[in-house]
Structure 1
Amino acid sequence: MWSPVVKLAAFLTLIHVAQAQCSYSMLQELTKSYVSSRLAGQISTLSTAVYTENFKSSTIQNSVHAQPLRIDHNRSLHDTTQCATYTELIITDSRHPYVIGTQMRYTPEGQLTQIDSLVTDAGDWLFNATGTLYWATREDWSPIPEARRDSRAVIKAGADAYLDLFSNKSTVVPWGTPCARLEGGSYTGQGRPTDSCNLVL
């Protein structure tokens, strides 16, 4: 399942910096609109963008987005430098549960140009939408005080190292301590100050 890669990488790479190409408030409104349209299954605002699903070219008309979704939880990240957003949707609907991660790219004027979705459901690695919902709603995603924030370059390097680890096991990832990973519906942390993310992948 993709969730540990997407969630950590998105968190590390989609950050708000002072010199921005897109306004933070504009991106916030765009993600709110995206979530609202998913509740209704409306795709008119998405239909002009290039769309990929699970790394394959597709069409929004034939995608999971073309149906109403009962969203139990959503969280969005906003990258004003790249004019991009990332939104996680958790759907525990017993008829068809999903965990969906979607990155959208915009022009500085707010025109949607590209949508990349990773859609997981029953049969995917460690898939458990109920478990994902339980742990995701307990995570603290409040803003980091500005004085404690790393630079964009440092954060991006950490994300790149994490992704490189999947193809090169000798890659050194700058994990923090304590650290926990949400793998599908399973959480690796025990609430201890020594919790580590340096686990076998």
Structure 2
Amino acid sequence: CTRPQLQTLATTYLSFQTLNSTTFLPLSPTFTYTENDRAIPSPLAPSTFLSTSLTIHFTLTLYDPLLCASLIEINAASATTPYVVLARLTGTLSNTTSALELSTLDTVVSSPGDWLFNATSHLTYARSESWSPIPLSLPLRTSRVALQAAADAYLDQWGNVTLPVPLGTPCARLEGGEYTGKANATANTCAMPAFPEPLDVRNRRYVVDEEMGAVGVLNGFPLLEVTLKKGEATPSGNVFRVEGGLVRYIHEVTVCWTKGFPGCGR
């Protein structure tokens, strides 16, 4: 599909999710909804995030025409239950019109008690960053292959600390509401210490946006949650900004089934 079609679908979805909205959400006949890695048979049931009306304060959207997919980072800090969400949308062309219909919606919905959650801090730091489109003529533009490779390198290193990751300097990581850029804005590198054990990050679902120099990856995080058994993971996602082949920003959203420390922690 095309970038304008994806933009229209993303705008429609955000309008639908907004407080007091009367927007119609165009769903394909085979629409499926997944919330925090769980298939939801009744997407518009009152208990789902999709049926929650929000005042949205910040969004960051990536578009991937090749996969006919978009990824939206959403901050709703002032809600009764505040949220920071990653939503991955895929579309299919309608059989009766030329419009794009929503075929899948996959969400990582974080709220109080999840890993490092602080929607107010997230909003402050997310707004301070520059994720403007990168013109094709600039050397900062990174290829699709290199964008996905940078994201994979970051996640793969969690399982093998010897693997190289193309982290730039400066680089800032926004993890929940914690921000590495506040300590050393000009020299931070986003380098990660080794985890207590090697991690195998699976179930990766990508959205790659060359115009934005960005890639989003929903994935399973095999740590933090106290109830996890071997091979299990909690819902998570990362969004990367890559400039000239080097990672400039990283956002991470991770959900725990057991809210608050020590059930959610490391």
Aligned match of 1:56 in 38, 42, 54? 38
Question: Residue 208 of structure 2 corresponds to which residue in structure 1?
Answer: none
| Cα distance change of structure 1 residues 191 and 46 upon mapping to structure 2, 3 Å threshold | farther
Q: Could you tell me whether the CA contact under 8 Å between 1:89 and 1:100 is conserved in 2?
A: yes
Please say which of residues 161-170 and 58-67 is displaced more in the overlay: 161-170
Distance of 1:141 and 1:120 partners within structure 2: 22
Alpha-carbon deviation of 1:143?
A: 1.0
Matched, 1:111 2:98: no
Aligned match of 1:158 in 150, 154, 163? 150
Higher relative contact order (CA 8 A, sep 6+): 1
Cα shift readout 1:108-154 (whole Å, capped 9, x = no counterpart): 56222111100000110100000000011111011123132121111
Distance of 2:17 and 2:86 partners within structure 1: 13
Structure 1 runs (4+) deviating above 4 angstroms are: 41-44
Please say which of residues 40-49 and 107-116 is displaced more in the overlay: 40-49
Quick one: which amino acid aligns to residue 106 of structure 1? G
Please say which of residues 170-179 and 132-141 is displaced more in the overlay: 170-179
Alpha-carbon deviation of 1:53?
A: 1.0
Question: Residue 196 of structure 1 corresponds to which residue in structure 2?
Answer: 189
Cα shift readout 1:39-89 (whole Å, capped 9, x = no counterpart): 128675348521111112114223111021111111211111111001111
Distance of 2:57 and 2:150 partners within structure 1: 30
Q: Could you tell me whether the CA contact under 8 Å between 1:41 and 1:69 is conserved in 2?
A: no
Alpha-carbon deviation of 1:28?
A: 0.9
Alpha-carbon deviation of 1:165?
A: 2.7
Distance of 1:119 and 1:140 partners within structure 2: 24
Q: Could you tell me whether the CA contact under 8 Å between 2:69 and 2:91 is conserved in 1?
A: yes
Distance of 1:134 and 1:41 partners within structure 2: 29
Partner of 1:144, secondary structure, is coil
Partner of 2:171, secondary structure, is coil
Q: Which has the larger radius of gyration?
A: 2
Alpha-carbon deviation of 1:166?
A: 3.1
Q: Could you tell me whether the CA contact under 8 Å between 1:54 and 1:118 is conserved in 2?
A: yes
Matched, 1:98 2:83: yes
Superposed CA RMSD in Å reads 2.0
Q: Which structure shows the bigger proportion of residues in strand conformation?
A: 2
Distance of 1:75 and 1:195 partners within structure 2: 23
Alpha-carbon deviation of 1:161?
A: 1.4
TM-score (norm 1): 0.81
Alpha-carbon deviation of 1:193?
A: 3.0
Question: Residue 89 of structure 1 corresponds to which residue in structure 2?
Answer: 74
Aligned match of 2:26 in 45, 50, 53? 45
Q: Which structure shows the bigger proportion of residues in helix conformation?
A: 1
Matches within 5 A, 1:1-201: 22-39=1-18, 40=21, 44-46=25-27, 48=29, 49-59=31-41, 60-62=43-45, 63-107=48-92, 110-146=100-136, 147-148=138-139, 149-189=141-181, 190-200=183-193
Identity %: 38
Please say which of residues 142-151 and 126-135 is displaced more in the overlay: 142-151
Please say which of residues 114-123 and 100-109 is displaced more in the overlay: 100-109
Q: Could you tell me whether the CA contact under 8 Å between 1:43 and 1:66 is conserved in 2?
A: no
Alpha-carbon deviation of 1:164?
A: 1.9
Distance of 2:40 and 2:110 partners within structure 1: 16
Partner of 1:85, secondary structure, is strand
Alpha-carbon deviation of 1:94?
A: 4.9
TM-score (norm 2): 0.62
